[in-house]
Amino acid sequence: MNGDWLIRGRDGRLCVYLTSDDGVLCRAEQAPGGSWQAPRKVGGDQKVHPVLAVGRGVDGYAHLVSWRPLGKGEAGVVHSTHFRPLLSPMDWTPLGHPDTKGDRTGPPAVAVDHQGRAHVFVRCGDGGLRMIAQKEKGGWGPWRVLEDLPETEGAQTQGPPAAMVGESGCVEVYTVVGGGILRRRQDAPAKRVAAAEFLRTPVRPGTLRALATSSEETTLFYADDSGDLRAWRPGSEPVTVAPVAGPGPVAAARCELDGRDVTLLAQRSTEGRVAFTSYRAGGEAADGWTESGPALPDDTEVALAKDDEGRVVAAALSPSTGRLLVARLHAGESAPASAAWQEV
């Protein structure tokens, strides 16, 4: 899965999205902070591959993107919108193929701008990046090729893109290419997404996670070849946050703990538990990881969100088993590591 698969809907209920063998499932709270529904399939009988990108708009709507099988060696990108957690998501809408036709070319990413329009990014067959976006008055525009910077021309996109929308409303997308990270962004809302900056750095594909950390700044987290978690604010040099706790991308959230404005990070550790660390916003120097909860399956992913009361919620999900655990930070607790995990 790619993106923030734990989402608070506009009605305050939390909802999670996960993949299954032939589709995408969702689970939602019956009421904010209450019990959870059983898993429901997105798109009814329509089958999709076990791959999913999720993005949330400022309106609280979730946008889901996957690949649908169309026959032997053929697939197409599909999109669905989920307006409220207790409602059924919309049926899958076909978006075509970034190369016109063919099999899957890579995991998608999706970001939703402040006008509620989804921007979908997918690696194409030649290794470049293509995108398709919703139109202002409905429907979808054409697939278009995103340009490279001169020093990255012809480089292959590696791993899934990381797409997000900053507090300014501008869409940004990050990819691993040719020995570094390529950042593409909008100069202003509703403008074209174009190549903007290349950071030459050792980076492990599949570890990118972007977070809006202020009204003007974005922080990209990634793991380097030495096993360190790095934070990059475009326009400056990356800094080391801490050694990685485990494989894969971190979950990241801006929140308040003990009266401090902090960036909270979570990751499944190599020992199988959920590890947390945090640092004062803007500092990018964490104290180390604290592990919490039981040991979890190898495919477990971790997400962070805020509930309807503004409390931090951490979720750990294993798509292969469907096992979902949630930890909610209550008043007086200084970190999610001290919160009790509940299996739902």
Burial pattern 134-168, b for ≥16 Cβ within 10 A else e, equals beeeeebeebeebebbeebeebebbbbbbbbbbeb
Q: How far apart are CA 35 and CA 213, in angstroms?
A: 32
Q: In this structure, are 228 and 257 located in the same domain?
A: no
57-111 residue pLDDT tens: 999 999 999 999 999 999 999 999 999 999 999 999 999 999 999 999 999 999 9
Tokens read off for 296:
């979890």
Q: How far apart are CA 255 and CA 187, in angstroms?
A: 27
Local structure of 290: helix, strand or coil: strand
Q: In this structure, are 77 and 118 located in the same domain?
A: yes
Q: In this structure, are 36 and 148 located in the same domain?
A: yes
Q: In this structure, are 263 and 341 located in the same domain?
A: yes
Q: In this structure, are 244 and 261 located in the same domain?
A: no
Residue 310 confidence (pLDDT): 87
- Amino acid found at 69: P
Residue 115 confidence (pLDDT): 94
Whether residue 6 contacts residue 16, with contact meaning beta carbons closer than 8 Å, is answered with: yes
Tell me how crowded residue 16 is: count the other CB atoms within 10 A of its CB.
24
Whether residue 76 contacts residue 92, with contact meaning beta carbons closer than 8 Å, is answered with: no
Can you give the CATH number for the domain in which 119 is found? Answer: 2.120.10.10
Contacts 24+ apart (CB under 8 A), 151-159: 151/178, 151/198, 152/177, 152/178, 152/180, 152/182, 152/195, 152/198, 154/127, 155/127, 155/182, 156/127, 157/106, 157/123, 157/127, 157/128, 157/129, 158/205, 159/107, 159/205, 159/206, 159/207, 159/208
Range(s) of the domain holding residue 57 = 2-251
274-280/290-292 β-pairing: antiparallel
Residue 336 confidence (pLDDT): 66
Q: Of 218, 251, 284, which one is at a domain's C-terminal end?
A: 251
Q: In this structure, are 216 and 339 located in the same domain?
A: no
Q: Of 213, 234, 251, which one is at a domain's C-terminal end?
A: 251
Q: In this structure, are 17 and 115 located in the same domain?
A: yes
Tokens read off for 79:
């999109």
Residue 273 confidence (pLDDT): 94
2-3/53-56 β-pairing: parallel
Q: Of 251, 281, 299, which one is at a domain's C-terminal end?
A: 251
Q: In this structure, are 213 and 104 located in the same domain?
A: yes
Q: What letter does residue 107 receive in the DSSP assignment?
A: -
Residue 217 confidence (pLDDT): 85
Burial pattern 213-251, b for ≥16 Cβ within 10 A else e, equals beeebbbbbbbbeeebbbbbbbeeebeebbebbbebbbb
Q: In this structure, are 132 and 179 located in the same domain?
A: yes
Residue 274 confidence (pLDDT): 94
Q: In this structure, are 48 and 142 located in the same domain?
A: yes
Beta-bridged to residue 171, according to DSSP, are 165
Q: In this structure, are 341 and 295 located in the same domain?
A: yes
118-123/109-112 β-pairing: antiparallel
The ranges of the chain with pLDDT < 70 are 330-338
Tokens read off for 333:
């607790």
Say how many domains are in the chain.
2
Residue 330 confidence (pLDDT): 65
Q: In this structure, are 62 and 95 located in the same domain?
A: yes
